[in-house]
Amino acid sequence: MKALILCAGKGTRLKPLTHTMAKPLVPVANKPVLVYVIDQVQEAGIEEIGIVVSSENEEEMKNAVGDGSRWGAKITYIIQSDARGLAHAVMVSQDFLGDSPFLMFLGDNLIEGGVKNFVEEFNSYGSDALILLKEVPDPRLFGVAELDESGRVTKLVEKPKEPKSNYAIVGVYLFTSEIHRAIAQIEPSWRGELEITDAIQQFMNMGKEVRSHVLDGWWLDTGKKDDLLEANRVVLDNYLKRKVNGQVDAKSQIVGRVEIGEGTVIENSIVRGPVSIDENCEIRDCFIGPFSSIGAGTVIEKSSIEYSVILQNCRLKQIKRLYDSVTGRDTQVIQQEGGLEGLSLFIGDDARVEL
> For residues 271 and 348, what is the distance between their CA atoms, to the nearest angstrom?
25
> What does the pLDDT look like over 217-264, one tens digit per residue?
888 877 788 889 999 999 999 889 999 999 999 999 999 999 999 999
Does residue 144 or residue 47 have the better pLDDT? 47
Backbone angles phi, psi at 246, to 5 degrees: -85, -170
Torsion of CA 22, 28, 31, 36, to 10 degrees: -90
What percent of the chain clears pLDDT 70, i.e. is strictly above it?
A: 99
pLDDT of residue 339: 65
Does residue 309 or residue 155 have the better pLDDT? 309
Can you state the angle between helices 33-43 and 58-65, rounded to 10 degrees? 60
Q: Tell me the CA distances in angstroms from 337 to 93, 314, 341, one per residue in order.
A: 56, 20, 11
Give the CA diameter of the chain: 70
Query: 3, 97 in Cβ contact below 8 A?
Result: no
Give yes or no for residue 163 having a pLDDT over 80.
Answer: no
- Output DSSP code: residue 303: -
Residues 6+ positions from 120 with CB-CB distance below 8 Å = none
Count helices and strands in the chain by DSSP H and E runs: 8, 30
> For residues 276 and 259, what is the distance between their CA atoms, to the nearest angstrom?
5
> What does the pLDDT look like over 62-85, one tens digit per residue?
999 999 999 999 999 999 987 788
Least confident of 7-21, 24-38, 283-297: 7-21
> For residues 78 and 100, what is the distance between their CA atoms, to the nearest angstrom?
16
Q: Are strands 143-147 and 153-158 parallel, antiparallel or unpaired?
A: antiparallel
Q: Are strands 304-310 and 287-288 parallel, antiparallel or unpaired?
A: parallel
Does residue 66 or residue 141 have the better pLDDT? 66
> What does the pLDDT look like over 177-200, one tens digit per residue?
999 999 999 888 887 788 888 899
State the CATH architecture for 242-354: 3 Solenoid (2.160)
Is 2-235 assigned to CATH 3.30.2010.30?
no
Cβ of 272: how many Cβ atoms within 10 Å?
18
Least confident of 7-21, 238-252, 295-309: 7-21
Query: 64, 25 in Cβ contact below 8 A?
Result: yes
> For residues 220 and 200, what is the distance between their CA atoms, to the nearest angstrom?
23
This prediction has a pTM of 0.89
Q: Which of 124, 213, 205 is nearest to 172 (CA)?
A: 213
Average model confidence (pLDDT) across the chain: 90
DSSP reduced 3-state for 285: coil
The answer to whether domain 2-235 and domain 242-354 are alike in fold is no
pLDDT of residue 338: 65
Domain boundaries, the chain: 2-235, 242-354
pLDDT of residue 173: 93
Query: 153, 137 in Cβ contact below 8 A?
Result: no
What percent of the chain clears pLDDT 90, i.e. is strictly above it?
A: 57
